[in-house]
A = this chain, B = another copy of it.
């Protein structure tokens, strides 16, 4: 099966999880094939956008037939490596860290939180849903003894850069960054930013635009 080239545009990659979600819902409804037109009506994208996106990973659409839903799901899951399990640690055991830990249980088992770490030793040794919480001092030994795929940063901006450095030094290759720190790291480290504050400003922009037109 063809997979996305290394140079697939990131906007296409970012739309894949949404395609995946819609296609899974279709399958649950017993829909096994769908045209780009019907899919576009559901997803709020244009049919030509969908055809263009799906072309990147094989173009299974057949004229007058549409797309095979199961095939598309399989391809997308392969591209996104959705059926793997990723061992995660959460750095920062405050409310945000705890919320992420809870949230991750909803990710269909793709992510497993092995441990949380915090500099605040009053949080240490308590557990959250059977996830142990350790001192930051223990990160190095924990990372040595366990294979960690992803470090989730749930720390304040001021701590972000330092914590990221520590993560990288402990040979963890991917960071899901919930802090607002801009992390500048080596090319072999994968960083995905969850810029919650930027999303808020986009919302207020849209709200003020709407008020102008009201």
A residues touching B (Cβ–Cβ < 8 Å)?
A: 6, 10, 13-14, 16-18, 20-21, 44, 79-82, 84, 86, 94-96, 98-100, 102-103, 106-107, 110-111, 149-150, 156, 173-174, 176, 180, 184, 188, 190, 192, 194-210, 213-214
Contacts A13-B205, A95-B95 given; 18 further ones with Cβ under 8 A? A6-B209, A6-B213, A44-B184, A80-B204, A82-B201, A84-B208, A86-B204, A86-B207, A94-B102, A103-B196, A173-B207, A173-B210, A174-B207, A176-B203, A188-B214, A192-B202, A194-B196, A194-B199
Chain B nearest Cβ from A52, distance in angstroms = 17
Residue of B nearest to A77 (CB): B201
Chain B nearest Cβ from A111, distance in angstroms = 7
Interchain CB contact under 8 A, A205 and B81: yes
Question: With a CB–CB cut-off of 8 A, which chain B residues contact A81?
Answer: 204-205, 207-208
Question: With a CB–CB cut-off of 8 A, which chain B residues contact A107?
Answer: 197, 200
Interchain CB contact under 8 A, B202 and A17: yes
How many Å lie between the Cα of A198 and that of B16 in the bound state?
8
Q: A188-B214, A192-B206, A210-B188 are in contact. Are A201 and B80 (CB under 8 A)?
A: yes
Interchain CB contact under 8 A, A203 and B207: no
Chain B nearest Cβ from A116, distance in angstroms = 13
Question: With a CB–CB cut-off of 8 A, which chain B residues contact A14?
Answer: 198, 202
Question: With a CB–CB cut-off of 8 A, which chain B residues contact A84?
Answer: 204, 208
Question: With a CB–CB cut-off of 8 A, which chain B residues contact A192?
Answer: 199-200, 202-203, 206
12 contacts between A and B (CB under 8 A): A17-B201, A21-B180, A80-B204, A81-B204, A95-B95, A96-B99, A96-B102, A96-B103, A174-B210, A190-B207, A192-B200, A192-B206
User: Which of B150, B173, B195, B209 is the one whose CB lies under 8 Å from A17?
Assistant: B195
